[in-house]
Structure 1
């Protein structure tokens, strides 16, 4: 099974423009093993078939390279908001070791899992934080501290932007990973993004192997964020900006 895993991962990674070393391939296999084993006792992911994990979790994470072409050259400081089982943050860290990555999640049991993964894989310059995005977005140590914010969290574009843009430096990027059609989200999302001192630079839509359409929305932070954002915990999801 390991040989099959490595062969498929190499193929999918190369389709995204990512070349992995033997060490990196081994790290991905270890990550896959601990993900599947832990998922038996903790709900981390509904995607457990080997091929699906490789395509829908690992290759999908690599897709950031489509809109940040110098990802393998710069030591960007990046935060993954609502990281869950570590996607896209951990695959990006394995594939691009020079990145400095923070993983944020609101469930402490997930954070404990992520700490196990980072220790097992011996990953440097990666840290985990337990809490809500609205709270850390107002924390001076994290607010406007990152070159790039990524998120695959399941939330509409307006809500997700209020969670994530507070972390981004002026001139930096927020890139949400989205699935399906974006038209309706964009109608409401554009107004919210403008209020949050940012603008959509481009939308890159593509398809993974045997999957529905995926999109990356490349959003550029254009100015310092008004202090009223993010609003208190719960409001961004209950009353999304328009």
Structure 2
């Protein structure tokens, strides 16, 4: 039996971060406490995250994940894919706070998806269906292509790469919420061009600071406007190594 691991200071940090975002975590604190305990225990076996301290995990995994709720784009009973979920972020915090979301955390590393699946079960999150795989493959499969209402991702690649990976998975009218660090004009311009190439457009750019820590973040929201051309996404690895309208060496967080 793994004990819950959120100290009074950790609970206060979680509340402060959520309050800054206009969110109420009080009814869900025990789930977050359990998530912290499970993440720490899993990390000892599986090396899931470089973040070790309670403060870092609460701020940079829990609160940081919840910033994807800014703007209300994830409010609703949306079929949502978390692109590159890793140890389950932002999917697990979103599933806790927004039980109406139907979440598919996606990662290519099986041990991480196994952890997410086991953790969701431990937390009683029936709205989480983890998936092992790559976005390039899912984006060309009949089952997944054009089937999601929302896609969300945290800082997994440059914006043009994210656009090519995410937009093919969305239905027309669907929305992609990408959370990154500070964004250069060059990356934003390349992201706009890439979005247009694969059937969408950027509809919102929201720079902000992470609650409590003050770390710089940018939320970029893209809308799918028309079907993605059949050639996108390109085969596995190509979007990352040969990004649309963007030199690979220029990629940033």
Q: How does the TM-score come out when normalised to structure 2?
A: 0.90
Counterpart of 1:32 (choices 23, 36, 40) is 36
Task: Describe the shift of the 1:70–1:108 C-alpha distance in structure 2 as closer, same or farther (beyond 3 A).
Answer: closer
Structure 2: how far apart are the matches of 1:88 and 1:114? 11
In the alignment, does 2:60 pair up with 1:56? yes
Give the stretch that moved more between structures: 5-14 or 108-117.
5-14
- Secondary structure at the aligned position of 1:140 is classed as coil
Structure 2 CA distance, aligned partners of 1:239 and 1:200?
21
**1:150-197 CA distances to partner (integer Å, 9 max, x unpaired)?**
011421111111111111111111111101233221122221111011
| Counterpart Cα distance in 1 of 2:220 and 2:183 | 12
The answer to whether the 8 A contact 2:74-2:150 is kept is no
Output the CA distance in 1 between the equivalents of 2:202 and 2:85.
Answer: 22
Q: Is the 8 A contact 1:180 1:212 kept in 2?
A: no
Separation in 1, partners of 2:12, 2:62? 14
Instruction: Tell me the residue number matched to 1:105.
Output: 107
Number of residue equivalences: 239
* Residue 232 (str. 1) matches residue 217 (str. 2): no
- Structure 2, unpaired ranges of 5+: 1-5, 246-253
What are the superposed Cα offsets for residues 5-63 of structure 1, whole Å, 9 maximum, x if unpaired?
Answer: 222212211111111243x1111111111111211222211122111211111111111
The answer on whether the counterparts of 1:81 and 1:153 sit within 8 Å (CA) in structure 2 is no
Partner deviation per Cα, 1:176-235 (whole Å, 9 max, x = no partner)? 110123322112222111101100101011101224210010101101111111111111
Q: Does residue 3 of the first structure (1) align with residue 8 of the second (2)?
A: yes
Q: Which residue of 2 aligns with 1:222?
A: 225
User: 4+ residue stretches of structure 1 with deviation over 6 A?
Assistant: none
Distance 1:167 1:234 in 2: 17
Give the one of 19, 22, 28 matched to 1:17.
Answer: 22
Change (3 A) 1:128 1:217: same
| Mapped partners of 1:152, 1:162: distance in 2 | 15
Would the aligned equivalents of 1:175 and 1:219 in 2 still touch at CA under 8 Å?
Answer: yes
Which consecutive residues of structure 1, in runs of 5 or more, have no partner in the other structure? none
Aligned residue runs from structure 1 range 31-180, under 5 A: 31-68=35-72, 71=75, 74-180=76-182
- Measured in 1, the distance between the counterparts of 2:63 and 2:216 equals 14
TM normalised by structure 1 equals 0.94
Q: What is the alpha-carbon distance in structure 2 between the residues aligned to residue 100 and residue 213 of structure 1?
A: 29
Contact 2:146 2:170 in 1 (8 A): yes
Alignment of 1:200-215 (within 5 A): 200-208=202-210, 209-215=212-218
